[in-house]
Structure 1
Amino acid sequence: MTGPSSRRPSRRQLLGYAGAAAAGAAVTGGTVALGKETPHAAEPVVARDLSPYGDHQPAVAAATPKHAELVALNLLGSTDRAALGRLMRLWTADIVALTAGRPAPGDTAPELAVPNAALTVTVGLGPRVFTLPGLTTAKPRGLDALPVMRHDRLLPAWSGGDLLILVGADDAVSVVHAVRRLVADAAPFAKAVWRQTGFWNGTGPDGKPVTGRNLFGQVDGTGNPAAGSPEFGATVWATGPEWFTGGTTLVVRRITMNLDTWDELTRSEQERAVGRKLSTGAPLNGTAEHDELDLEARDADGRLLIAENAHARLSHHSVNDGRRIFRKGLNYVHDTGATRESGLIFLSYQADVAGQFLPMLARLDAADALNEWTTTIGSAVFAVPPGFREGGWLAQRLLS
């Protein structure tokens, strides 16, 4: 039996508030690089890890991860601007270590930090952050809780939040471990209020990247601007306020899908509701996934090939005054006893929520054929700060 003096100090005792600042400083001093060494292998391992550094948080433009978890947290009453800065420094140190496959500072399960898992972490700030003293003039334009739509049935269990962490990886264990560390380090500053887990398959049978499918069987995300293109930059990256340049806004919508009634439809009825072929994702006027939608094309009977209420038509930029978003999705299932809820965690990135996303959302809520089989039960919006360089930290321009 050991006495108090021989007990191992807790992680919080090891770090504390002062430790949080020191952990952030460790990003520059190389301390976070200490950890298990990469073993020598007979054959080289192909690295799949993204650098955590850059002008933007890297996961935004990256492919949708195979496994992901989103956690929303609310700030504790004692957390002010300075304390939030301490948390961002600590999370930055965690992210730098974990995305490289090294244990986070003070990690209680260091063996679970492994390289080549394609681990990414995205951090967002909810609207209430910008009510803190010293931050009220820094709020990005239009960053407010979304209005409740006519078809919404929002539940508090999946809505709102002051902070967001979105962790993705090829390996579910890596996701669980990273979330555990980030939430533990946030404990002196914020408390988790909801968690959502999802999955996505963006790889075809030949091993090449594909768009991926939701649980309706749709190819989902075809109309996205190509990452790295000028169109992508104009759609996604904010240009102000000054601290937010290079950031973006993220809308999270939890959408249930009634798979039982969807399965009662014929295949042609399903395709008409979507406006695309289920086999390839091609528009009903075309043959390949990325063929342009011809919204005036008609069949032999003079009927529009892409119906007036088809999802593909109503979400297309040409009927939304050129507005675009960059959308991602995560399939989910949520079991309660013998009952299973299935759906999509819809993620929309755009420079301006009010100017780009809201008008499109209103149009879809008013007339989208898919409203008959889908219901939004969760909604949240976050400002995703720009990225950080080596030696810097998340939201540094906002919180320093």
Structure 2
Amino acid sequence: MRLRAGAAVTGGAVAVANNAGGSVEAAGSPAAASREISPYGVHQPAIAAPSPKHAELVALNLQSGTDKAALGRLMRLWSTDVTALSAGRPAPGDTAPELALGNVALTVTVGFGPRVFLLPGLTAKRPRGLDELPVMSHDRLQPAWSGGDLVLLVGADDPVSVVHAVRRLVADAAPFARPVWRQTGFWNGTGPDGKPVTGRNLFGQVDGSGNPTPGTPEFDQTVWSDEPGWFTDGTTLVVRRIKLNLDTWDELTRSEQERAVGRKLSTGAPVTGTAEHDELDLEKRDADGRLMIAENAHARLSHHSTNDGRRIFRKGLNYVHDTGATRESGLIFLSYQADIAGQFLPLLARLDAADALNEWTNTIGTAVFALPPGFEQGTWLAHQLLD
């Protein structure tokens, strides 16, 4: 069965990710429907789904001697693991089978970094635009959070399930690849009334209001590759670890914070509107003749109308990283798009040049990956590339 974008089979129904980054609800099912998300589908299911409550990203570098055939063996092994863990069953050889829980919305997303496409037999298969990003003027990149040949993005409602799944997947990868960085994050896409909401970053901003809606033509054109061949229905992922200077941000008045963003902190609405999803009025001025959405406001500079129609599908995971008494706080920024060079890079350059938020942020990690299309029963991840 071919699923439409943003859909996954769950409990015999179809679960569809909503626009606001909230929960996955099964059509025609009661409120207490299963939170099990099928690993099968045209696309890897977590991409169009809401951000998970708990997540871990692991980047791995290929071991010496891992060639195309060996990478294919790893993908078969991981596909078996993902199928079992998503259903709450222990993966083959699981040393802690009691930790394999069902009904926790566990998903695993797998991707390939640019160097994978230097392997013999894969050099002609590199997706367009899949190149390491240039260093931006406000970047303060650290090798500890950058690069990688493979990526695993594991998410679930339950942090123990995330840790267990990562442990199993990394152990099974040991003959083929070794971890080079790990990042953990969290997100709240549920409001006080239990209904889905967009979610907030640690600056207090509603984050992701301008996203295209999964399941729409606009989303499909933004996210899914239309390349002929193996990468059709895949996408690309940019991971940016952004350190937030909360201390100096907190020194601003509320109106100064809203002017830097271009949106109201209370609701996420544009400062020119009243509701979160109101269109930005980029020409509206206040009583003193100033543009209400400032020239350097993040909302203006990132809006598709000021970027020749370019869009991305952005998600976020908040993080805190403690070292003794010192705490670093930030955002793991995840951008999905069909073409990094054609969509994300021009937007990144524009923000780096003028975004008001640059005063309180620094990107300290960066990585890019090609996420292969999904797989069905009887097949395996990236079989289109590696078979």
Counterparts of residues 316-327 of structure 1 (less than 5 Å): 316-327=303-314
Deviation at 1:46, TM superposition (A): 2.9
Q: Which has the larger radius of gyration?
A: 1
Answering whether residue 330 of structure 2 is matched by residue 375 of structure 1, we say no
Partner in structure 2 of residue 273 of structure 1: 260
Q: Distance in 2 between matches of 1:57 and 1:156?
A: 28
Amino acid at match of 1:287: T
Deviation at 1:255, TM superposition (A): 0.2
Answering whether residue 214 of structure 2 is matched by residue 219 of structure 1, we say no
Q: TM-score, structure 2 length as denominator?
A: 0.92
Q: Distance in 1 between matches of 2:72 and 2:106?
A: 23
Deviation at 1:240, TM superposition (A): 1.2
Amino acid at match of 2:223: V
SS class of match (2:230): helix
Partner in structure 1 of residue 283 of structure 2: 296
1:266-323, CA deviations, whole angstroms, 9 ceiling, x for partnerless residues?
Answer: 0000000000000000000000000000000000111000000000000000000000
Q: Distance in 2 between matches of 1:96 and 1:319?
A: 42
Partner in structure 1 of residue 166 of structure 2: 179
Counterparts of residues 78-97 of structure 1 (less than 5 Å): 78-97=65-84
Q: Distance in 2 between matches of 1:244 and 1:46?
A: 33
Partner in structure 1 of residue 176 of structure 2: 189
Change (3 A) 1:156 1:336: same
Partner in structure 1 of residue 372 of structure 2: 385
Partner in structure 1 of residue 50 of structure 2: 63
Answering whether residue 243 of structure 2 is matched by residue 259 of structure 1, we say no
Q: Distance in 2 between matches of 1:315 and 1:262?
A: 20
Percent sequence identity over matched residues? 82
Answering whether residue 343 of structure 2 is matched by residue 356 of structure 1, we say yes
Q: Distance in 2 between matches of 1:57 and 1:106?
A: 24
Q: Distance in 2 between matches of 1:85 and 1:392?
A: 12
Q: Distance in 1 between matches of 2:264 and 2:228?
A: 42
Partner in structure 2 of residue 7 of structure 1: none
Q: Distance in 1 between matches of 2:312 and 2:138?
A: 21
On the 8 A contact 1:138/1:241 being kept in 2, the answer is no
Amino acid at match of 2:326: T
Where does the alignment leave 5 or more consecutive residues of structure 2 unmatched?
1-29
Partner in structure 1 of residue 328 of structure 2: 341
More helix by share: 1
Partner in structure 2 of residue 141 of structure 1: 128
Q: Distance in 2 between matches of 1:44 and 1:360?
A: 39
1:158-209, CA deviations, whole angstroms, 9 ceiling, x for partnerless residues?
Answer: 0000000000000000000000000000000000000000000000001011
Q: TM-score, structure 1 length as denominator?
A: 0.89
SS class of match (1:253): strand
On the 8 A contact 1:151/1:371 being kept in 2, the answer is yes
Out of 100, 116, 129, the residue aligned to residue 87 of structure 2 is 100
Q: Distance in 1 between matches of 2:234 and 2:156?
A: 22
On the 8 A contact 1:286/1:293 being kept in 2, the answer is yes
Deviation at 1:241, TM superposition (A): 4.3
Deviation at 1:45, TM superposition (A): 6.2
SS class of match (1:123): strand
**How many matched pairs?**
358
Q: Distance in 2 between matches of 1:102 and 1:74?
A: 28
Partner in structure 2 of residue 29 of structure 1: none
Q: Distance in 1 between matches of 2:258 and 2:330?
A: 18
Amino acid at match of 2:87: A
RMSD value over aligned CA atoms?
1.0
Answering whether residue 114 of structure 2 is matched by residue 110 of structure 1, we say no
Deviation at 1:49, TM superposition (A): 1.2
Q: Distance in 2 between matches of 1:44 and 1:103?
A: 27
Out of 353, 367, 382, the residue aligned to residue 366 of structure 1 is 353
Q: Distance in 2 between matches of 1:269 and 1:397?
A: 50
Q: Distance in 2 between matches of 1:305 and 1:375?
A: 26
SS class of match (1:381): strand
Q: Distance in 1 between matches of 2:205 and 2:191?
A: 14
Out of 151, 171, 174, the residue aligned to residue 138 of structure 2 is 151
Q: Distance in 2 between matches of 1:49 and 1:251?
A: 27
Q: Distance in 2 between matches of 1:207 and 1:100?
A: 25
Amino acid at match of 1:170: D
Out of 222, 236, 247, the residue aligned to residue 249 of structure 1 is 236
Where does the alignment leave 5 or more consecutive residues of structure 1 unmatched?
1-42
